[in-house]
Structure 1
Amino acid sequence: MSKPASKATSQFEPATRLALLRSLWRSRLGDLREQSLIRQGKGWFHISGMGHEALAAVALSLEPEDYAFPYYRDRAFCLQRGLTDRDMALAFYAKRESSSGGRQLTGHFSDRKLNIWSHPSPVGAHLLPACGAAWGMQLDGKDGVVYASLGEASARQGDFFEAVCFAKERKLPVVFVVEDNRIAISTSTAETNPIALGVLNSEEWQRVDGSDVEAVAAAGKVAVAHARAGQGPAFIWCDVERFSNHSSADDQRMYRAADELEAMHARDPIAIFQQAMIKDGLLTEASAKALEEEIREEMRAAYKAAGADVDPLAEECDLHLHGALSTPDAMPKLELGESCRILDAVNQTFHSAMDTMPEVVFFGEDIADPKGGVFNLTKGLSKKDPLRAVNSPLAESTIMGVSVGLASYGKRPCFEIQFVDFIYPGWNQLVSNMATLRWRSFGQWKCPLVIYAPCGGYLPGGALWHSQSGEGSFARVPGIRVVVPSTPADAAGLFWTALHGEDPTIILLPKHLMWAEQRVQQVAAVPLGVARTVREGLLVTLVTWGNCVELVDEVLETMEGDVDVEVIDLRSIQPWDREAIADSVQKTGRLMIVQEDNISGSVGQMIVAEMCSDEDVLRSLKSPPVIVSKADVHVGFNPIYEYAALPDRERVAAALERLLASTLQTTLEQARAPAPMRASVTDSSDMIASEESAPFSSSKMITVPILGEGIRVARVVSILKQSGDAVLADDALCEVETDKAVFPIESDEDGVLGDWLISEGDEVEVGQDLVPLQMQGGEPDSDAVSRPAVAAEASESEAQPEAGLKRQQGGLLPE
């Protein structure tokens, strides 16, 4: 009879030790079985956890409601957590009933019922989602814990540091475990990991011998208790061995010495743990051998059965790519009046969501009060609930990654990227997790969320990283919804639909339209994939979206005669309304796209390709489709660059006139040489004052300068200098207030002020005349002095006809 275990040699009861040993052997022998099957040509790929098995002991400290974000060598941990040998075998054979439906590599563990999050291949990409899940638990007041593991090589990824920082900042209940086997495929990491380099505070990390199962269990117990008690994240650095090749596509004998490979087996965690049990009388050598053989046969049976299971179905290739499209029956009543701005509509929609949807969480740079976001979109939210409207760090990958984990947990993230141009540090999270999570887990996991970002140009001074639109980049990513509203009603309706949807949705808000007053009609939830017909016509189908909706409207208003053009605001980019466009083109016989994005791989090109592949549409065409677009060029800081790059009135009108005058036959017969790129003819002095180049004049008009991204109007709060006052260059003449700040307007010359054309309390527009300035030594300029004030209630086109024309000058693209 076996002797009872000595309590001095183990922290576990005998039954627990035996069950844990079985998990260790199931992991090891499962790995060996898969290696054997690969050599028999019965699988495609294998990656093992041999040498890392001791981490299973950490799972003993977790509760069922805890979450696990394990990495690909955590086979033993996942088995101890509750995955079965059949689960592993189905994943190896990529069967339809596997956790991924046959879509993921082996080692990419997932189980929704066990809260094991679906692992992505890009290393470290799961760590920020782990923080998101932990934040969700924290928001709900639960004492749950999140386990997140990685290899030491992954600890050089930026997402690792962002995750550690975010977890510490918010005191999240995350247990980070680094499994250090000292090699990244073939590259030694012993001197280049962040602990060795002194980048991490080693005093915060429990350093544990990964060959000692009892030591790993003890470290895990301490770490989990720390996190569960609300003391913030805990950190374990576990020294392990990698007994196998990196994967079945590798042979470590090519780059590791034979004596090194031989010596490492002295640190086999299973052998050491089993020997301790034999020493304590829980096992004999014979019973240990029998246990191993028993489990080996179980593995053979499990893999044999799984090999005969059903394979994936080809017709299900796009199954679970998206959730079902749905549109809310109603949305709360918004007090928008007869006209308002997009930002007002979005802000009120956010408040309605905050009031009626307790799972919605807002997060982004500067979104909390008093700032309320750089565009005031989140104004007032943090005053209502500071736990659900939170400033993010200046870290886009954190914003994107945390949103995925928070949504996976069950919240409804509505997160802001301050400008869409800055989203690319978080691009890995978008394409690796947001877009793939539902599909790669065969519908087990999902992440319904909203990421919104101001986008686009037509605002001087934006330069490279405040002027791109970028919708084509998102539309090409399977699994992502993309919308671009151009009116306050559509902005509110699309946000409301997206907030109730089942998918990650990118909402791009055109900056040029953000602050523009627009007439508001009915506000309702807007279905995704349904375009808006702006005006009906019979001669041309003109499809556009975003900032270009306003541009097209301006062109049509200024063209002579009744131009019978059907204008369609696409507004939903992915999915998009093929039927509406096809029906319109079959009616008009002509198709024109006006877009702000780059031409190559763009939404415009996609629409033209799709329409031309439809036989009925192709037969109805009277002329070749035309795309007016930004070229594959960046937007520069000087407005000359910006207006040269973007579509303008002149080019849109010219393209429209040519399209109406041409037929398909005459176009095909003409051997037209490509039109040369046209340089902009716009003088930068038309757009911004220049001390050095301004021509001499005896008098000039002081006007309202550019007040910030997209801001069009301001209120005069004080007049600081009076008519007849002598002023010097740089003197403040008056102060105006916008939604974002109070701005002094200064003189740029010495002189004497004429009569003010506005009064305190008046609303003024960018470019509006304020007061004439008689410069020293000059005669009065009668035109400048007598120029009438612009009525405060005038529309932008009425108030700034010259500015509007200057904005549209130039062009760079052939249509």
Structure 2
Amino acid sequence: MGRKTLPSLNGSSTSVQEADDTLLDREQLIEFYRLMYLSRRTDDREIVLKRQQKIFFQISCAGHEALLVAAGMAMRPGYDWFFPYYRDRAICLTLGNTVEEQLLQAVGAADDPASGGRQMPSHWGIKKLNIVTQSSATATQCLHAVGCAEAGRYFRNHPEASAKPALSSGIDYRQYKDVKFEADEVVYVSIGEGSTSQGEFWESLNTASNAKLPIVFVVEDNGYAISTPVEANTPGGNISKLVANFPNFHFAEIDGTDAIASYKAMVEAVAYCRAGHGPALVHGHVVRPYSHSLSDDERQYRSAEEVEADSLKDPIARMQMYLLREGILNEAEIDRLERQVDEEVQRAADRAVRGPLPVATREAILKHVYSEDLSVTDPRFSTEPQRTPDDAERTMADLINACLKDEMRRDERIVVFGEDVADATRDTALRAGKIKGKGGVFKLTSGLQNEFGNDRCWNSPLAEANIVGRAVGMAVRGMKPVVEIQFFDYIWPAVHQMRNELSVIRWRSNGEYSCPVVIRVPIGGYLTGGSIYHSQSGESIFTHTPGIRVVMPSNALDAVGLLRTAIRCDDPVLFLEHKRLYRETFGRAMYPGPEYAIPFGKAKIVKAGTDVTVVTYGAVVPRALQAAMKIERELGISVELIDLRTLSPYDWETIAESVRKTNRVIVAHEDMQSWGYGAEIAARIGDELFHDLDAPVRRVAAMDTFVAYQPALEDVILPQADDVYKAIAELAAF
């Protein structure tokens, strides 16, 4: 292959390989400029609309256009996958997103294809182009890109998993669709230089490097994170110097205002990834000729001299001069092209501002918070236990493990990963039978790696955001990640991913994307020595998060039935497993077969009664049952005990029916009393059932403090059977 010298925008020469994908011909150069100018004029039109109060927010791509059009022209829409950030207008236009579509989002119109008016402008998401719905959070998308690339590789290595799985029940679960994948697809993810300070960015580099994933990271470095200059964010002021030692990476640091240099760098980066060599990072130095957003005034923190110096590097002016200097277009031709773009943008704006607004009803607003096909009456998730050859009663831990194995045998899209969940990462000795294997600190994933292999069960880095963020990227591609957070006490680094990404993807994309991840988490105390960091509860934080189902079984049979529903439904599910109940004698059961499922939102009446209702869940269930049986023997008080089983949604109808019967109610839970889960139940009972009550609503819960190490302290801090007994007696006597 020969070589050809191509002039760069600054007049120097760039040597590139002479091939169709590394050189821009005349028509491509003209289109390159048209797209850059189209992006700038769309920004300018949004600014006008904001000042006319026809839109409500504006943030621009100005100064980034050359780098982003280059990225778009180097990649393939609908073939590769894209996780952009809010400066990425130009790449989205290059991929096929239209000006009208972008302005419909600015207006907040019903026809906005990215979100139906639910997201701010410049929050991209076009499913047909593989542009994945984007949030305002910074750096979270880097981990989604990792998961997406892992899913693409998985489908390439397991093409049979891309088709609908054969279900033994013969029922076609709605979320299962044929998955489209390409053998050499590449994933694009972009980020501003300020966001490289975020942990998710570094976690994503770590995994991409380790796994040699085909991801192109693009750092758009305009020197500022709002008002914070790059040297305050990045040691040495240069992210390329910091990441240079990651193995398996292709790195390029370029002038991102130079269209030719940008295109060359992007083509080389994409080619490196497409060939399977590993990830790439392109660090483009760009400018920001406009303020951070229209809500920001950069004159408060940037000097006029600095802004003027940046204006001399404006990529629009540089590309225009290049076209003139190289004789590709003359002034009249440039003027004609720009007038055509101006007219296109004006027509798009006129149509967008006339677009109908979203329907502002309660029903319409709540649509897509959860999947539409999951209800307590759904026959797919409400089945009877079946007898199996093995009729021995087993623990909750045993049945969860059996359910995971049955589901993984049924559906090749299911993968399991987390900290220490594999049998043995260095598995040679495992295969030789020399070691038993770990399979999780509580052994609930024991045998999964051994049976299903390293690409279906593996150990993650010790990084909880990494676990959940990668799962998000896999799930939007059609996989079913069932991940484990080792202890609830350490879930907090993942909360950003759960609250701002996982929970809201379906709603913010107006139903275009779903993210059916199952997060299994050991939770709770009563451990005799668990102390502060192995005894935490905090489920109310997650029930306060719309879009995530929260499940907490109290016994083995419920655990397997609810876990199967969690895996087969199309919603994200937080599956809380109480550590104290894993191997308790209470609640053991026979394995109910590979199709047994329990619907979400359906409580279980553990014990019927007539005098007092006790509503609870988790490890308080056996303690409340002990108290109920004792008080009935000793005082003749008949207690109706309700196990909620699922906390979001919860079974209000069963609670209300019981309270109308007993006229007295206690809500008991292990978490702290103040601002705990029971407060909402108690408030709703007081609001809707006040006239049915013969006594105040009572709560039994933990003290408003941490769980101590010494068992004598733990016993006082956490609610015990005696606490429930005393509350029942006092309420019955009211």
Normalised by the length of structure 1, the TM-score is 0.78
Mapped contact 1:334–1:348 kept (Cα < 8 A): no
Whether 1:590 aligns to 2:633 is no
SS at match of 1:566: strand
**Separation of aligned partners in 2, 1:89 and 1:131:** 30
2: distance between equivalents of 1:332 and 1:115? 42
Partner of 2:350: 304
The residue that corresponds to 1:320 in the other structure is 368
2:589 alignment counterpart: 520
SS in 2 for 1:175: strand
Choose the corresponding residue for 2:79, options 32, 44, 65: 65
Query: Alignment partner for residue 405 of structure 1, among 440, 465, 473?
Result: 473
Report how far residue 280 of structure 1 moved.
2.9
* Equivalent runs, 1:57-96 vs 2, <5 Å: 57-63=70-76, 64-96=78-110
Q: How far 1:130 sits from its partner (Å)?
A: 1.1
C-alpha spacing 1:226/1:291, structure 2 compared with 1 (3 Å): same
1:30-54 superposed Cα distances (whole Å, 9 cap, x missing partner): 0011111222222211000000001
Matched, 1:117 2:132: yes
1:215 to 245, 261, 285: 261
Distance, in Å, in 2 between the alignment partners of 1:33 and 1:522 is 63
Q: Is 2:88 aligned against 1:20?
A: no
CA-CA distance at 1:115 after TM superposition = 0.9
Are the aligned partners of 1:548 and 1:596 in contact in 2 as well (CA < 8 Å)?
Answer: yes
Q: Distance in 2 between matches of 1:297 and 1:337?
A: 75
User: What residue is the counterpart of 2:46 in the other structure?
Assistant: 34
Q: Residue 334 of structure 1 contacts residue 349 of structure 1 at CA under 8 Å; is this kept in 2?
A: no
Distance verdict in 2 for CA 1:240–1:332, change over 3 Å: farther
Q: 1:421-466 CA distances to partner (integer Å, 9 max, x unpaired)?
A: 1100111000000111111111111101100101111111111111
- What value does the CA root-mean-square deviation take over the aligned residues? 1.7
Aligned equivalent of 1:295, options 341, 354, 366: 341
Residue type of the alignment partner of 2:331: E
Identify which of structures 1 and 2 has the higher relative contact order when contacts are C-alpha pairs closer than 8 Å and 6+ apart: 2
SS at match of 1:8: strand
Structure 1 runs (4+) greater than 4 angstroms displaced: 329-336
Asked whether 1:371 is paired with 2:371, we answer: no
**1:469·1:597 contact (CA, 8 Å) conserved in 2?**
yes
Distance 1:320 1:44 in 2: 24
Q: Secondary structure at the match of 2:242?
A: coil
Deviations 1:271-307 (A, max 9, x none): 2223222233321111101211221121111111100
Deviation of the 1:601 alpha carbon? 2.3
Checking the alignment, whether the CA contact within 8 Å between 2:391 and 2:591 is kept in structure 1 is: no
Q: Which amino acid aligns with 1:8?
A: L
Structure 1 position 487 matched with structure 2 position 555: yes
C-alpha separation between the residues in 2 aligned to 1:513 and 1:225?
52
**CA–CA separation in structure 2 for the residues paired with 1:202 and 1:49:** 30
Matched, 1:341 2:356: no
The amino acid across from 1:516 in the alignment is E
The alignment partner of 2:528 has SS state of coil
- Return the offset for 1:314: 1.4
1:799 aligns with none
Selected match of 1:51 from 63, 79, 85 = 63
* CA displacement at 1:254 relative to structure 2: 1.8
Partner of 2:646: 572
Q: Relative to total residues, which structure has the larger helix share, 1 or 2?
A: 2
CA contact (8 A) 1:194 1:200 kept: no
Shift of residue 557 of structure 1?
Answer: 3.1
> Structure 1, residues 237-275: CA drift from partner, whole Å, max 9, x if none?
100000100001111122111121112122122222232
1:738-757 alignment, distance < 5 Å:
none
1:128 is the counterpart of 2:202: no
Q: What does the per-residue CA deviation read over 1:179-212, in whole Å, with 9 as the maximum and x for residues that have no partner?
A: 1111111111136425636532279531010111
- The one-letter amino acid of 2:353's match is G
Q: Of 289, 303, 319, which residue of structure 2 is paired with 1:257?
A: 303
Matches within 5 A, 1:152-163: 152-163=193-204
Counterpart of 1:593, as a letter, is: V
Which residues in structure 2 correspond to 1:457-468 (within 5 Å)?
A: 457-468=525-536
**CA 391–22 in structure 1, closer or farther in 2 if over 3 Å, else same:** same
CA distance in 2, matches of 1:22, 1:470: 53
In the superposition, relative to structure 1, how do residues 378 and 503 fare at CA in structure 2: closer, same or farther (>3 Å)? same
Deviation (angstroms), 1:587: 1.0
The answer for the alignment partner of 1:769 in structure 2 is none
Q: CA deviation at 1:132?
A: 0.8
| Paired residues of 2:550 and 2:647 also in contact (CA < 8 A) | yes
> Following the alignment from structure 1 to structure 2, what is the Cα–Cα distance between the partners of residues 9 and 239?
19
Q: Alignment partner for residue 413 of structure 2, among 359, 363, 367?
A: 359
* 2:532 and 2:707 in contact (8 A); partners too: yes
Partner SS, residue 256 of structure 1: coil
- In structure 2, the partner of 1:395 is 463
Label 1:606 to 1:92 Cα distance change in 2 as closer, same or farther (>3 A): same
Paired residues for 1:527-606 under 5 Å: 527-559=599-631, 560-561=633-634, 562-606=636-680
Aligned identity (percent) is: 39
Which stretches in structure 2 are left out of the alignment for 5+ residues? 9-22, 157-182, 424-436
Please list every run of 5 or more consecutive structure 1 residues that lacks an aligned counterpart in the other structure. 1-5, 663-815
Q: Structure 1 residues 26, 334: CA separation in 2 closer, same or farther (over 3 Å shift)? A: farther
Q: What displacement does 1:642 show?
A: 1.5
Per the alignment, residue 738 of structure 1 pairs with none
SS in 1 for 2:128: coil
Aligned-partner residue type, residue 378 of structure 1: T
Could you say if the C-alpha distance between residues 309 and 549 of structure 1 is closer, same or farther in structure 2, counting changes exceeding 3 Å?
same
- TM-score, normalised with respect to structure 2: 0.87
Asked whether the 8 Å contact 1:185–1:246 carries over to 2, the reply is yes
Contact 1:338 1:519 (8 Å CA) reproduced: no
Kindly indicate whether the alpha-carbon contact (under 8 Å) linking 2:637 and 2:732 is maintained by their aligned counterparts in 1.
no
- Check the 8 A contact 1:155/1:194 in 2, yes or no: no
